[in-house]
Chain A
Amino acid sequence: MLKAFYYLLVRDLRLAFRSRHELANPLIFFVLVVTLFPLAVAPSEDLLRVMAPGVIWVSALLSVLLSLDRLFKQDYEDGSLDQLMLSPNPLVILVLAKVSAHWLLTGLPLVLIAPLLGLFMYVPDEALGVLVLSLLLGTPVLSLVGAIGVSLTVAVNRGGVLLSLIILPLYIPVLIFGANAVDVASDGLSVRGQMLFLGAMLALALSLAPLATAVALRITASR
């Protein structure tokens, strides 16, 4: 079981590294969207500092959303998804491996580049750590919950907008606590509560979302 998890993880990572340009796309998108805000609003420091947590979090959210397609689309099209479902290993573990690979390829880079964007948006130095930590706890939830949505829509033609429609409402709690943590940290207050909430949501998503994803994949495959 653990072996299956490991092999699938390595497979997905290897496949992703074979097409490196695709790997960078969500990251560039993330930086690009954040860059749009100073251009659209005004490059004033006070304004950007107020908006920073929300802008960075919303951009991260959209970036994960756009990259979700990668999670199952290719496997669905070339038939390896069916093979995975036929394998004797529990589907939940395989789903977990795929989601982990997805997070390592999209979520983690976002976390790592976030401090740079924090500087762009004049986030105070003492809040940069909180920004990184909140993204570190929040982005896995985005990948896990997103996996449910992708597995439901992977067989739908042009499912992109549909996917956003069904997934974005479910992302709201993560957005609220993530952005709020950074906001509060900028004022120099304690963010313990927000972090605990993000951690709780991660625990909940980690235990329930793969189950729902497995059921969803079976539904999709049954047609």
Chain B
Amino acid sequence: MQRFSSPKHFFEMSAKLIPWFAVSALLLGVYGFYMGLFVAPTDYQQGESYRIIFVHVPAAWMSLFIYVVMAISAAIGLIWQIRLADTIAAASAPIGAWFTFLALVTGSLWGKPMWGTYWVWDARLTSELILLFLYFGYMALQSAIEDQRTADKASGLLAIVGVVNIPIIHYSVEWWNTLHQGATVAKFDKPSMHIDMLIPLLVLAVAAKLFYATMVLVRARNEVLYRDRNRRWVRELIEKL
């Protein structure tokens, strides 16, 4: 385990893994977008505008997924003192925040033709917004503390506290929404999805995961190099260049 999680080993392993992840993310992405944007049938109620879900839904799934990954690796870093896990958590946060932002933007762009307004205090939109704030808090704490070890531990604990809170926030927002708003926004009953729409969606969800895997490895590699900039293995690496 110690050898496996050493920065040097990670640096070498990730160099081999990144092309695989990147290429498969690209292939699945191209296939998924082609199927989704050109092949999948037009929705009988929403017309062509529904196609934004092929970006929106994977992004929304990723936003939550990445936060959970972040909290788990932060917990691993805190409990077993594995620095690599902290690095992964720190590298994940900006990617997760971007996915959350993307989900919000695509959601509101879709909302304009569908609901007639860019923003609705809908339960899901609201909890997505709060998730974005949780990411911001994590990143702010990470960058506010100068000592790297302390910053990792402190923001890691915050991520864990956040992940405990996410279900509570989600359900209270849902409750609040049903109590306050009720029928002001008549949401369409979701028609069960056509298989030609579902397949590209799932393909794109996998592509988004692979994209995240690629990006987190790239970012973590940079981070590892930066953090170990005074270690011998990095120096040797630089000398070789």
Contacts and interface: CB of A to CB of B under 8 A. Distances in A.
A172 B173 contact: yes
B140 interface: yes
Interface stretch (B102-110, B145-153, B207-215): B145-153
B137 A165 contact: yes
A169 interface: yes
Interface stretch (B43-51, B54-62, B156-164, B192-200): B156-164
Contact of B137 (A169, A172, A173): A169
A169 B140 contact: no
Contact of B150 (A165, A197, A222): A222
B165 A162 contact: no
A170 B154 contact: no
B133 interface: yes
B169 A172 contact: yes
A208 B173 contact: no
B175 interface: yes
A198 to B, nearest CB: 10
A166 B153 contact: no
Give chain A's interface residue range (CB within 8 Å of chain B): 20 to 34
A155 B141 CA distance: 11
A204 B175 CA distance: 19
A143 interface: no
Contacts, number: 79
B118 to A, nearest CB: 22
Q: Which secondary structure dominates chain A's binding surface?
A: helix
A162 B161 contact: no
A177 interface: yes
Given A169-B133, A173-B169, A223 B150 contact: yes
A176 B176 contact: yes
Contacts of B168: 173, 201, 204
Interface in A146-172: 148, 152-153, 155-156, 159, 162, 165-166, 168-170, 172
26 contacts: A152-B141, A152-B154, A152-B158, A153-B141, A166-B137, A169-B130, A169-B134, A169-B137, A169-B162, A169-B165, A172-B130, A173-B165, A176-B173, A176-B176, A180-B176, A180-B179, A197-B172, A204-B168, A212-B160, A212-B161, A216-B157, A219-B153, A219-B154, A219-B157, A222-B149, A222-B153
Interface of A: 148, 152-153, 155-156, 159, 162, 165-166, 168-170, 172-173, 176-177, 180, 184, 197, 201, 204, 208, 212, 215-216, 219-220, 222-223
Given A165-B136, A219-B157, 20 more contacts: A148-B157, A152-B141, A152-B157, A153-B144, A156-B144, A165-B137, A166-B137, A169-B130, A169-B165, A169-B169, A176-B175, A176-B176, A177-B175, A201-B168, A212-B157, A215-B157, A216-B157, A219-B154, A220-B150, A223-B145
